[in-house]
Amino acid sequence: MNLESKTGRVNGMDHGARRVWFQLTIYESRLGGLILAALNLAAALLLFSRCPSRLLHPELWAEDGVVWLQQAYNSGVSSLMIPIAGYLQTLSRLGGLLAIQWPLTQAPLIFALIAFLVQLAPAVLLLSKRGEGLVPSLLARLLIVLYYVGTPNSNEVYVNLTNAMWHLALVAFLMVVLPKPKTVAGVAIDVIALVLAGLSGPLVLFIAPIAWWVLIEKRASPDGKTRLLYAGLLTLCALLQGVVMATSLADNRLSNLGANFNRLVHILADQIFLGGVIGAKNVFPLLTNSFWLQSWPAALCCLMALVFCGIAFVRGNAAYRQFLVLAVLIMASALKTPMVSADVPQWVPMQTPGAGDRYYVIPMLAWFVTLLIVAKGRWRFGLQWVARGVLLCCMVGVVADWRGTPYAQTGYQSIAEAFGRAPAGAAMIFPENPGGWQFRLAKH
């Protein structure tokens, strides 16, 4: 019901009926708020249940200690401007700066909480009223959120501060395509998130042009000024990241790709089109099968997926097309300049689920949305039934890969406690995950 019809109905009521109508409206609003809160809580509990030890017994992982915590401790606020892999990573830097305000024993928990909240944020956005404006079907949004929370083949990015920028990029994309907040506070929250995402990794180079694409399509909408603000901020962030990437000497990406057709189709099939459907645990047995290791079975899988993507691109809405373009750009970038292994050509480990998961999370979600679009239509050769069958298999993958891998207990806590008691000048070595990683701090 639109506003005019609502206003007309209220004006046509006597005082008593009008009072009852407003009470019912307030009741519906409160009930809707309770349902939304319950759905958000359920999403948070589901996300937590994938690997409770990541929050209950947190540990540092890779760059968490050797970069974010160590450089925040040694360099303070100036660490914000130190590029890693050739670009700024502000979210992780801020996590390090926050952690050093507390005893170092709390650093793993602080990192885990930040990563958890950032990973949960896209689900909260999709479940909100703004999400309803993008995907009106509650069932479709629930399915997308369930798949996102339980994304198969994604252990590397689960509650991990170093890789939280990938989830933050998804937050930025959603804020660009979703209906805009109606309050100043809501816009302010979006602006903070957009700037943080724009200065936390290179994906802003892809999201900023999409923001202008959305602005052009929605130029006649009432929130055009807000969309212009978002596009402008993301463009400034993209320009800054571009300058840093062009001038940084820290980008040590390896150039030995080992690229060929067989590896390409297996990266796409094993990691996204199958890995995102049946899960990494069910893909691993295929990698020992000589039949599957040929090029043509994987190529056939990719061809079917590309047909579905083409259908959905034509029939889907503008937001879907923009999301698919983002996913394609991410994959193209990942294939061109990956950072997966220092020992063998990059495309060799990229074929194996569990290696470079971060590159595939957004493409896997785009693949799932593609299946939803095809499944709800009517197509020749019964393609909708094929899509529905693959969607059911996605739930198989979600269940198969639901349980994340706990980090090994390194003894970090006991060393951090000893460091807290140590005199100024004392130096200690802190272990972290994965095994063999460590960093050194000298107490101030």
**Least confident stretch, 195-199, 225-229, 250-254, 337-341:** 250-254
The two three-digit tokens of residue 137, written as one number: 């079907």
* 177 and 65 part of one domain: yes
Residue with tokens 């994304």: 151
Residue with tokens 């506003």: 3
What integer pLDDT is reported at residue 8 of this predicted model? 44
- Cα–Cα distance, 239 to 147 (Å, whole number): 33
Could you list the beta-strand ranges (E) of 227-383: none
* 25 and 63 part of one domain: no
> Who contacts 304 (Cβ-Cβ below 8 Å, separation ≥6)?
273
**Directed axis angle between helix 164-177 and helix 204-217, to 10°?**
10
Q: Say if residue 1's pLDDT is above 50.
A: no
Span 104-133, pLDDT tens digits:
999 999 999 999 999 999 999 999 888 888
What integer pLDDT is reported at residue 10 of this predicted model? 45
Cα torsion 271, 144, 203, 74: sign: negative
CA dist 428 → 74, 417, 441 (Å): 14, 11, 6
> Who contacts 258 (Cβ-Cβ below 8 Å, separation ≥6)?
344, 345, 346, 347, 348
* 209 and 235 part of one domain: yes
* 115 and 41 part of one domain: no
What integer pLDDT is reported at residue 343 of this predicted model? 77
Please give the tally of structural domains in the chain. Answer: 4
* Helix ranges restricted to H, 199-294: 204-217, 224-247, 261-266, 280-283
* Host domain of residue 184: 57-252
Q: Say if residue 4's pLDDT is above 80.
A: no
**DSSP tag of 433:** B
- Cα–Cα distance, 408 to 190 (Å, whole number): 36
* 65 and 181 part of one domain: yes
- Consecutive H or E run containing 311: helix 295-315
Rg (CA), the chain: 24
Give the residue from 442, 175, 222 showing the smallest Cα distance to 322. 175
**DSSP tag of 68:** I
What integer pLDDT is reported at residue 117 of this predicted model? 96
Q: What percent of the chain has pLDDT over 90?
A: 60
* 339 and 393 part of one domain: yes
Q: Residue 21's pLDDT band (boundaries 50, 70, 90)?
A: very low
* 247 and 259 part of one domain: no
* 121 and 208 part of one domain: yes
Displacement of CA 332 from its chain's centroid (Å):
17
> For 341-367, what is the mean pLDDT?
88
What integer pLDDT is reported at residue 147 of this predicted model? 95
Provide the residue type at 378 as one letter.
R
* Helix, strand, coil percent values for the chain (each to nearest 5): 70, 5, 25
Q: Residue 24's pLDDT band (boundaries 50, 70, 90)?
A: very low
> For 276-298, what is the mean pLDDT?
89
What integer pLDDT is reported at residue 13 of this predicted model? 52
Span 380-438, pLDDT tens digits:
777 889 889 999 999 999 999 999 889 999 999 999 999 989 898 889 999 999 888 99
* 245 and 104 part of one domain: yes
> For 195-213, what is the mean pLDDT?
95
Give the residue from 233, 234, 226 showing the smallest Cα distance to 205. 234
* 386 and 426 part of one domain: no
Q: Residue 249's pLDDT band (boundaries 50, 70, 90)?
A: low
* 148 and 270 part of one domain: no
Give the residue from 264, 298, 235, 279 showing the smallest Cα distance to 397. 279
Q: Decide if 428 contacts 419 (C-beta within 8 A).
A: yes
> For 19-36, what is the mean pLDDT?
57
Q: Decide if 168 contacts 196 (C-beta within 8 A).
A: yes
* 205 and 307 part of one domain: no
Q: Which of 196, 223, 252 is at the close of a domain?
A: 252
> For 159-172, what is the mean pLDDT?
95
Three-state secondary structure call for residue 294: coil
- Cα–Cα distance, 55 to 158 (Å, whole number): 11
Q: Say if residue 28's pLDDT is above 70.
A: no
Q: Which of 26, 49, 72 is at the close of a domain?
A: 49
**Of 330 and 2, more confident:** 330
